[in-house]
Amino acid sequence: MNVRLLGLAMAVGLSLPVVAQAQMLQPGLWELTSSNMKVDDQNLPDLQLILNQLGSQMTPAQKAALEKQGITMGGKGIRVCLTQAQVQSDTIPLQDPQSGCTQQVTDRTGNQWKFRFSCPKAQGAGVATFLSDREFNTTVNGTFNATGVQQNGSMDTRAVWLGQDCGAVKPRA
C-alpha cells in the first residue's frame, strides 16, 4: 500500500506546479496535506499516519535524498520551501525538474483553475481553488503505474503557507 500511496502522491505533487501559478504566492515554508485519498475506490489511511510509518521505515540516506530535493516530512504533511524567485517564475518547482511531467491549464474561471497533467507513470486532471496567497486546495483524479499495474487514484490536497522562514527545509534547486 505504501508504494501505491507514493505513486498517487507523486501524481498529485507533479500537478501542483501548474496550480500554484494562478496568483502570486508567498515565498517561504509551505505545508501540503492530503485527504480523501483513494486507490481503485479503496480509501487509504490518513496521510499523517502513512507519513509517520514511512518516516520510521526510511533510511537516513532516503531521508537525505528527499531533503536534497527540497522535500521534508513534518507537521501534518510534506513541507517545501519556495524562494521569491520561484513564486515569481512561470513554474514553481514543487517537483523534480527531471521528472518528465507536463501540465496544461484547460480553464481559468475566477479563483479556480482546471488542469491536466501527464507524467511517465501518471496522468490525470484536477481543479485548484485559490483561497488567498497563503492557501490553496487541489482535487486530482488520475491513473498511475507505480508498481507495474495501472490503477485509478484520487486525492485532495491543501497547501498552507507557514511563514517566511523555511528553517532547515532547503529550497528546491
Q: Give the per-residue pLDDT at 125.
A: 93
In a domain, 16, yes or no: yes
Say whether 91 sits in a helix, a strand or coil.
Answer: coil
Say whether 93 sits in a helix, a strand or coil.
Answer: coil
The model scores a pTM over 0.85: no
In a domain, 170, yes or no: no
Whether the pLDDT of residue 104 is over 70: the answer is: yes
Q: Give the per-residue pLDDT at 47.
A: 67
In a domain, 172, yes or no: no
In a domain, 168, yes or no: no
In a domain, 125, yes or no: yes
In a domain, 105, yes or no: yes
Distance separating alpha carbons of residues 32 and 81, to the nearest angstrom:
11
Cβ contact 124:140 at 8 Å: yes
Percent of the chain's residues with pLDDT above 70: 70
* DSSP assigned state of 23: S
What domain range includes position 34? 2-163
- Total domains in the fold of the chain: 1
